Amino acid sequence: MRRNRVDASQLELTDKVVAIKRVTKVVKGGRNMKFTALVVVGDGAGHVGAGLGKATEIPDAIRKGKEDATKNLIEVALDENNSITHDYIGKFGSAQVLLKKSPEGTGIIAGGPARSVCELAGIRNIRTKSLGSNNKQNVVIATINGLREIQTPEEVARKRGKSVQEVTA
């Protein structure tokens, strides 16, 4: 079940720049230099989003990336341990990110790009493994796609027409 996008106006969002790249376009008069910023935003309470900003100056690229990320916020289903409710593999392009539920005290065991997404989403206990591509942009999007698809036990029970106890047992 896909959740609707979240309205960012009432959330206190923090942002983190995951990557800044210098990109060049060769034209007749020489080279055009621009910067691309990959930014992740979240409120630390189950809402996270990622965005890409492109501009001739780094601060402008970061600002645009932050604006794009706030437009693409999703809601993450968390359990009582501030972990995800079940294991899932998020995919985007050739990047795959394995998201594993963890008990209290595990902490965030994740690589750079996936760690940023998990921290800003408010997840405190999770294990992740990046499979396939290590492209930062694709790993971030794969992580967000995986978190978007995670369902609460209540949602699964409602879909199957069973009680929550039958689904979790």
Predicted confidence (pLDDT) per residue in 41-88, tens digit: 999 888 999 999 999 999 999 999 999 999 999 999 888 888 999 999
Give the per-residue pLDDT at 8. Answer: 67
Set out the domains of the chain in order of their start, with CATH numbers.
8-74 (3.30.160.20), 76-160 (3.30.230.10)
More confident residue, 132 or 3: 132
- Taken as a whole, the chain contains a residue count of 169
Give the per-residue pLDDT at 53. Answer: 96
d(CA 53, CA 131): 26
Helix orientation angle between 136-149 and 112-121, rounded to the nearest 10 degrees: 40
Given pLDDT bands bounded at 50, 70 and 90, which one contains residue 145? very high
The pTM (predicted TM-score) of the whole model is 0.90
